[in-house]
A and B are shown apart, each in its own frame.
Chain A
């Protein structure tokens, strides 16, 4: 699924086309000769950039100073996904062997460690930091209670597992974007299915809730962003179709902007943009496609900026877009 494409996002090249905001270079972090950052996770609090490196280590950089804060040895497991909690205090890591770990920051205390039956496609932490959801490849998604460190629900597996996950802002619901192209909404405490969106023909690779919890925003191989009524699973509308498949979505804290990372479906090594959508006008606001910038991670911060990283073999650059 996007399991394969996610790796390619690292190689995207970017050139400005439409700019409501400018792309600012915030920091350039020099990397030791043997360190290559595969992808990053960025704390929405703006505190850390976590670099998942080819040497099976995770490096945490201070986002404002660019200094290396900590290095975590991942005991040889190749990471497939990483995600911060909204407040940046928890970092969830999922590996190719199915291991899921949650670290508490800045102390780097291991808070939860379990093994799922297969490589982890996606992870997400509820806003109240009580629940974690993990999507193992080809398996049903799992929900874990972080205080008791116990599994509270396991969803029935669609025929090819789940590609993307999102908790509702109140933590009551878990939405999954599944390999059979359906979007499903579950009670996060019981795993009971609330509704299912079965009208989408192609798989979604990304899913987020609107900040008021009323809508789901999804996108993937169909090249559009679908707006779904979370109460009944009906597709209300689709934002303008783009040339490329949608790979990832991030929403600003105020719910007004949506950053969408795209990938060229015909040839993922070719450039594809990051587009910032204005959700009030339902139109693209900023289109980022700049030579020499190969984004490998991005996140909206609480101050409204979109932070992005791009990497090469010698350095990691931190960019910002917005106020």
Chain B
């Protein structure tokens, strides 16, 4: 930035501070103070996790990632999108991408890639299949890129507690995948539906941090 022509922004801020007319508090600190005043605690933002090499821009807007007849276990993923004060965030852009049930990413097209339709109530949901194991990764996973005005973009991944890699004990074994730094990214999997039409359901809450 240029300092030419009058006071620059830093000088104005310094003068305001000297006059006592302004107090600088980081946004998360002020949010924490407000919540403390209200007797609440700040939520932890969803842990970030690597973007991975295969993010693709301009994914189609749809909540249905699987096509009729696609092989693999049908999967429903849903959750709330909150800020660290626990308030639902409407109109958040959620992009997801994953492998097919055999562990292949579609780099030429947009199979198993989507920008989820905006939800004014702060919820999201999509239908897919349980991803396979990508050969270069240990665990099955779904990538997320979540953006909302005034909040830090969240790049993370969802993992499944039923992944055979965890041998039934994700608490103990989650870090068998060196990219999983947080247990909370490994979510329980419910099997729902009648025996002829069983599918997996996962809930994954997303919490975004203010800029």
CA distance A143 to B48 in the complex (A): 26
Asked if A79 is at the interface (CB within 8 A of a chain B CB), the reply is no
Main SS class of interface, A? loop
- Enumerate A201-229 residues with CB–CB distance to B below 8 Å: 201-203, 205, 220-223
Proximity bits, B137-161, A CB within 8 Å = 1, else 0: 1000000010100000101000000
> B105 → chain A, closest Cβ, in Å?
7
When chains A and B are docked, how far (Å) is the Cα of A267 from the Cα of B104? 8
A280 surroundings in chain B (CB, below 8 A):
none
Which single member of A159, A202, A269 contacts B54 (CB below 8 Å)? Answer: A202
Binary per-residue interface labels of chain A (149-185) against chain B in the complex, 1 for a CB within 8 Å, 0 otherwise: 0000000000110000000000000000001110000
Q: Is the CB of A202 within 8 A of B107?
A: yes
Mark contacts of A256-292 with chain B using CB atoms, 8 A cut-off: 1 yes-contact digit, 0 otherwise. Answer: 0000000001111100000000000000000000000
Q: Is the CB of B153 within 8 A of A201?
A: no
* Residue among B50, B55, B137, B153 making CB contact with A202, cutoff 8 Å: B55
**With A159-B155, A265-B105: A179-B54 Cβ-Cβ less than 8 Å:** no
Q: Are A159 and B145 in contact (CB under 8 A)?
A: yes
Given A221-B107, A265-B107, does the pair A5, B56 have CB atoms closer than 8 Å? no
When distances are taken between beta carbons in the complex, the residues of chain B under 8 Å from A159 are: 51, 145, 147, 153, 155
The CA-CA distance from A200 to B136 in the complex, in Å, is 24
Q: Within the assembled complex, what's the spacing in Å between the Cα atoms of A215 and B147?
A: 32
Q: How many chain B residues touch A (Cβ–Cβ < 8 Å)?
A: 21
Asked whether any CB of chain A lies closer than 8 Å to the CB of B4, the reply is no
Check A238 for interface membership: any CB of B closer than 8 A: no
Whole-angstrom distance between the alpha carbons of A201 and B137 in the complex?
23
Q: Considering the complex, give the chain B residue whose CB is closest to the CB of A200.
A: B57
CB pair B55 A203 closer than 8 Å = yes
> Distance (Å) between the CB of B183 and the closest chain A CB?
21
| Smallest Cβ-Cβ distance to A266: which chain B residue | B104
B56: chain A residues within 8 A (beta carbon): 181, 201-202, 221
Assess whether A2 is interfacial by the CB under 8 Å rule. Answer: yes
Q: How far is the CA of A229 from the CA of B147 in the complex (A)?
A: 30
Beta-carbon contact of B136 and A201 below 8 Å: no
21 residue pairs of the A-B complex, CB under 8 angstroms, read A1-B53, A3-B50, A4-B50, A4-B52, A4-B53, A4-B136, A4-B137, A4-B179, A8-B136, A159-B51, A159-B145, A159-B155, A201-B56, A202-B55, A202-B56, A220-B53, A221-B107, A223-B107, A245-B107, A265-B107, A267-B135
